[in-house]
Amino acid sequence: MNAACLIVYASMTGNTEEIACHIGKGIEEAGLTVVIKDILEIDVEELRNYDAILLGAYTWGDGDLPDEFLDFYHEMDSLDLTGKVAAAFGSCDSSYEHWGRAVEILTEKLVELGADVVLDGLKIDLVPTTAELEQCIGFGKLFVEKSFLK
């Protein structure tokens, strides 16, 4: 397998970043290479270079995407993601009414642009526990299995 995999995340206090890194670990353990980028260091055009795209964001405001994700989110509309596999993830807080809504917003955008979303979005409450970090690794492995080992 030599599929190219990209993880893009937004993280204010580090939780979603930690989730991203562990999903990346799972993808690598499943045999693929992965590039992990902060939302602030990527241009939307780069998505064209990858076969697999995972987008991660914490939920902000009242069930919103983080502000730093908004430009990228709107610029994504110039892309056709048909033929690519994808998934979304993020840290959130179940004490809020719109729990992890950002994960759903990203999933909906990926579907709208034609990507094949192979897994339900992964929502982790606040700081991931050791068990949840294992779950993130498992999510990465399952993503590869569902995407490339069918």
Where do contacts with ligand FMN occur on this chain (CB under 6 A)? 11-16, 58-63, 91-93, 96, 98-101, 126
> What is the closest distance, in whole angstroms, from the C-beta atom of residue 125 to ligand FMN in the complex?
8
Q: Which is nearer to ligand FMN, 11 or 147 (CB)?
A: 11
**Tokens 């979304």 sit at which residue?**
88
**Tokens 């795209």 sit at which residue?**
53
Q: Which is nearer to ligand FMN, 26 or 66 (CB)?
A: 66
Q: Which is nearer to ligand FMN, 8 or 32 (CB)?
A: 8
Backbone Cα Rg of the chain: 14
Q: In whole angstroms, what is the distance from residue 20 CA to residue 29 CA?
A: 14
Contact 109, 72 (CB under 8 A): no
> What is the closest distance, in whole angstroms, from the C-beta atom of residue 64 to ligand FMN in the complex?
7
